[in-house]
Amino acid sequence: MKKLRTALLAKATRSRALLAVAAISALGAQAQADEVVNIYSYREPGLIQEILDAFTAETGIKTNVVFGRNGIIERMTAEGRNSPADLLIVNDSGLLIQAKDAGVTQPLESKVVDETVDARFRDPEHHWVGFTQRARIVYASKERVAQDAITYEELAEPKWKGKVCSRSGQHTYNIALIASMIAHHGEEKAEAWLSGVRDNLATKPAGGDREGARNVHAGLCDVAIGNTYYMAGMMRNEEYKPVAESIKILFPNAADRGTHVNISGGALAAHAPNRDNAVKLIEFFLSKTSQESYVGKSGEYPIVVGAESSDLVKSWGELKADTLPIAEIAALRRKASELVDKVRFDAGPQ
């Protein structure tokens, strides 16, 4: 009997020891998991890698990036609760809205975000926040366009007949611009404006913003609608530099309501396994140093007051941004898309 009690005691001791080891191992695995942020990104890694490296150096938290030009939100939807994603980084507000509507984001509670980022660059329900601004501007020929100021409304005037180039009206950048026109003027006037711009097009909408710039350089049109950061990229590219140097940048409506801006930004993944670390990284993106690193590489504008754009971007002049909240513009995106189809914008001049 004594031998039996001794054997049972020994067995119980071994069991407790094994449980203790298992518990320690589990805690160790959890601690290791907590020292990482998994990022799903529509933005090219090169634009944010410097920030991620600095974040790891400061916090010890490693970053893993999955990059894709398309389909990331669909991937997160398919993965559901098993998704390893902690943070979604996008290059356009339309994707932020799409992600929220798809249910792959969650509210972010951060005093840093609320105090650092103007409310117009944040989701009212805290699902996303802007990281950088980009302006939708006019590329104008230095040779053929004498004026140094312009408005979006003016692009529909007869004097620009056959002189305007644009990418597809259904592209997310133009949808946001058209939505802003609806917000400012109402749907009826926005439709009339869009019809006027359509009839002033030099050709059917095609290509991207770089192609618009090339068309201006080649004399196919005198002005093109495009984002600022494409000009920054072209100035750094020997092939495109002559194109960029033949163009002057006009900030529409700088004398009144301001130029339409869009944002890049981030959102906390709905099932983030490393939620707290993801919040830390979002806040890190909003530091002055990170902001200036980001816009220095992307050719965009900072979100945070006090952070500065690159010298190249500053050389174009001061950006007076439209104060419309991004969420207000986003709410009109569907109507904007319907207007594009209604006036047959992508069919070109009527």
Give residue-wise pLDDT tens across range 240-283: 999 999 999 999 999 999 999 999 999 999 999 999 999 999 99
DSSP 321: B
Q: Is the pLDDT of residue 306 over 80?
A: yes
Residue type, position 277, single letter: N
Would you state the structure tokens that stand for residue 90, as one six-digit string? Answer: 């996008």
Q: Is the pLDDT of residue 25 over 70?
A: no
Statement to judge: residues 66 and 202 lie in one domain: no
Would you state the structure tokens that stand for residue 327, as one six-digit string? Answer: 């969420």
Nearest to 116 by CA among 309, 266, 306: 306
Domain that holds residue 93: 36-132+264-308
Statement to judge: residues 104 and 197 lie in one domain: no
pLDDT classification of 350: cutoffs 50, 70, 90: confident
Statement to judge: residues 126 and 147 lie in one domain: no
Statement to judge: residues 271 and 298 lie in one domain: yes
- Predicted confidence at residue 256, as pLDDT, reads 96
Q: Is the pLDDT of residue 134 over 50?
A: yes
Would you state the structure tokens that stand for residue 202, as one six-digit string? Answer: 């030099």
176 is a domain residue: yes
Q: What is the pLDDT of residues 282-297, one digit of tens each?
A: 999 999 999 999 999 9
Statement to judge: residues 273 and 296 lie in one domain: yes
168 with 346: CB under 8 angstroms?
A: yes
Statement to judge: residues 164 and 90 lie in one domain: no
84 is a domain residue: yes
14 is a domain residue: no
Q: What is the CA radius of gyration of the chain?
A: 25
- Predicted confidence at residue 13, as pLDDT, reads 40
228 is a domain residue: yes
Statement to judge: residues 87 and 188 lie in one domain: no
207 is a domain residue: yes
140 with 165: CB under 8 angstroms?
A: no
The Cα 91–Cα 174 span in angstroms is 14
3 is a domain residue: no
CATH of the domain at 291: 3.40.190.10
Statement to judge: residues 207 and 277 lie in one domain: no
The Cα 113–Cα 109 span in angstroms is 8
276 is a domain residue: yes
Q: Is the pLDDT of residue 233 over 60?
A: yes
Statement to judge: residues 121 and 46 lie in one domain: yes
N-to-C CA span, the chain: 102
Percentage of residues of the chain with pLDDT beyond 70: 90
Statement to judge: residues 284 and 256 lie in one domain: no
For 185-227, where are the E strands, in sequence order? Answer: 223-227
Query: Binding residue per annotation — 230?
Result: yes
Query: Binding residue per annotation — 229?
Result: yes
Number of folded domains that form the chain: 2
Nearest to 91 by CA among 48, 28, 29: 48
Within 90-139, where are the H helices?
Answer: 93-102, 111-116
Statement to judge: residues 288 and 139 lie in one domain: no
286 is a domain residue: yes
Give whole-number Cα distances, 338 to 78, 190, 207, in Å: 28, 12, 21
For the chain, where are the E strands, in sequence order? Answer: 36-41, 62-67, 87-90, 129-141, 164-165, 223-227, 247-250, 261-268, 301-302
The Cα 204–Cα 213 span in angstroms is 15
For the residues 316-331, what does the mean pLDDT come to?
A: 96
